[in-house]
Amino acid sequence: MGLRDILKREFYFITGNYQILVVSWIIMDLAMEMPVPNFQFYVQDVLGGKDFPMALGIIGLANWIAMAIVAFPGGYLADKYGRRKLITVMTMVMALSNLIFAFAPSWHFILIGTIIHSLCLVYQPALFAMVQDSLPPERRGMGSSIIQLIHGTFNTPGPIIAGALMLAFGLEMSMRIIYVIVTILYAIAAVWRLKLKETLKSGEPMRFRYVFSSYSTAVKECVNVWRNVPRSALWLFVVQTLIMFGSSLTNVMNAIYATETLGIPEEQWWLTFIPLLLTMVAASIPIGKMVDTVGRKVPLILGLSIFGAATLIFVHGTFLTLMLSMSLFAIGQLLVMSSAMALSTDLVNPENRGKVVAFRNFVGYIFNGVGMLLGNYLYVAFFPQLPFYVALGLMGPAILIALFLIHDSKN
């Protein structure tokens, strides 16, 4: 059997909507990671965030609360009226919202842009549901890992470009240039997504006024959906929420912590993202195969354990051990996300997937927002290591739940 036959056998499912989404992610991922390494410095040093120590926490809270507001109607609309229109229109609006970041005169405009950007993610449940609709059961782990592979591969140039632009133009001008680039590439992806085909046929046309008029019905259906799914799906949701909360505690100030506490030079911080992204590229396919071969539970528990180790290394790190920590975070993320997505798809029927994703997103977003505000507060009010220690403490309950209360669907 030749290489072409092997590739065709392994990746036969990359077609149709899944292929279109893959291409759109490639386009968006080229820009997505560019602002990330220096975002905290942009807010603090350029836009006046240092004058208000809780600025990053408030921006993070607003981001996740806005996403939570649209989570329920997003899932309801995805399951009732379909996926395509929600995805295509909101991708374009989200693209244009990046211009606010590019021309912001103060951190307050970053707050406004963040809220608009996050409200556009009303399409997220529809996006996840369309991915799940498009993957065969025997390739769900691989399909999830390919998504992570794309993110890792095409995010990798982002920090390098950000670092080069910073060295060439300085922090402020480089960030403004980056957000213009993000706007252009997101707009291209939005146009490309017009090629998507609807996967959920409905007799009633989609109207965006339903986002608000259907809110109470959406909340009720997204809550009641848990009566119709296995208990393991509920416990999986608890584990995912714990992980999201723990990550938000640390992510809100990790760049500031690295520079102020660990002594990493600001112009070198972006370099720590490179091993993270390269590890995602190298490990995505093997981890996807692992999830499809050995089941979902073992990779989930392994990923949680690696997350804990990575957090411990980061909090006491040097420049080199930070790079090791970032690689471990990548492996942990791949293991947890691939196994969780595959297991959730196994356990939840297609007609309920949008609502389950919406409920999970709503609660997760609330916890993320509170976590960012709390992480910022703990960092400023107590001592810088405290958010990391709290995040580390959450790993124990998550591992125990995964070990004893989540049952692998393959068994």
Each residue's pLDDT expressed in tens, for the chain with a length of 411 residues: 555 655 455 555 566 788 888 889 889 988 888 999 999 999 999 999 988 989 999 999 999 899 888 877 777 777 777 788 889 999 999 999 999 999 999 999 999 999 999 999 888 878 877 877 777 766 666 666 677 677 667 777 888 899 999 999 999 999 999 999 999 999 999 999 999 888 776 646 666 565 566 677 777 887 888 888 888 999 999 999 999 999 999 999 999 999 999 999 988 999 998 898 889 888 888 888 898 888 889 999 999 999 999 999 999 999 999 999 999 999 999 999 889 988 888 888 877 877 887 788 888 889 999 999 999 999 999 999 999 999 999 999 999 999 999 987 654
The whole-number pLDDT of residue 157 equals: 85
Distance in angstroms (rounded) separating the CA atoms of residues 318 and 268: 12
> Which residues neighbour 286 within 8 Å (Cβ) at sequence distance 6 or greater?
none
Measured in residues, the chain has a length of 411
**Side chain identity at 19, as an amino acid letter?**
Q
CA distances, 346 to each of 129, 135, 352, 361 (Å): 13, 11, 12, 18
Q: Which two tokens stand for residue 112?
A: 């406004």
Which of 172, 186, 180 is CA-nearest to residue 102? 180
Q: Residue 258: its pLDDT value, please?
A: 95
Q: What are phi and psi of 318, to 5 degrees?
A: -110, 180
So what's the pLDDT on residue 159? 87
User: What are the structure tokens assigned to 404, written together?
Assistant: 């004893």
Dihedral sign for Cα atoms in the order 258, 259, 263, 268: positive
- Taking CA atoms, 156 is separated from 26, 38, 278, in Å, by 11, 15, 7
Residue with tokens 């009566």: 227
> Would you give the end-to-end CA distance of the chain in angstroms?
32
- What's the pLDDT score for residue 380? 93
Q: Do the Cβ atoms of 8 and 134 come closer than 8 Å? A: no
- The helix-helix angle for 273-294 and 140-155 (nearest 10°) equals 170
Whole-prediction pTM: 0.77
Here the tokens at position 191 are: 């146009």
Q: Which residues contact 309 (CB under 8 A, 6 or more apart)?
A: 328
The confidence score (pLDDT) of residue 170 equals: 94
Return the pLDDT at 208: 56
How wide is the angle at C-alpha 225 spanned by C-alphas 222 and 229, nearest 5°? Answer: 145
Q: Which amino acid is at 328?
A: L
In whole angstroms, give the CA distance from residue 329 to residue 188.
30
Give how far Cα 318 sits from Cα of 253, 254, 265, 315, Å: 17, 13, 11, 9
Could you give the dihedral angle defined by the CA atoms of residues 12, 13, 18 and 24, in that order, rounded to the nearest 10 degrees? -30
Domain 13-200+214-404 has CATH 1.20.1250.20: yes
- H-assigned helices in 120-214: 124-134, 140-155, 157-192, 210-213
The answer to whether the CB of 13 falls within 8 A of the CB of 143 is yes
**CB of 335 closer than 8 Å to CB of 27:** no
The pLDDT of residue 324 is 96
CB neighbourhood size of 7 (10 A) = 11
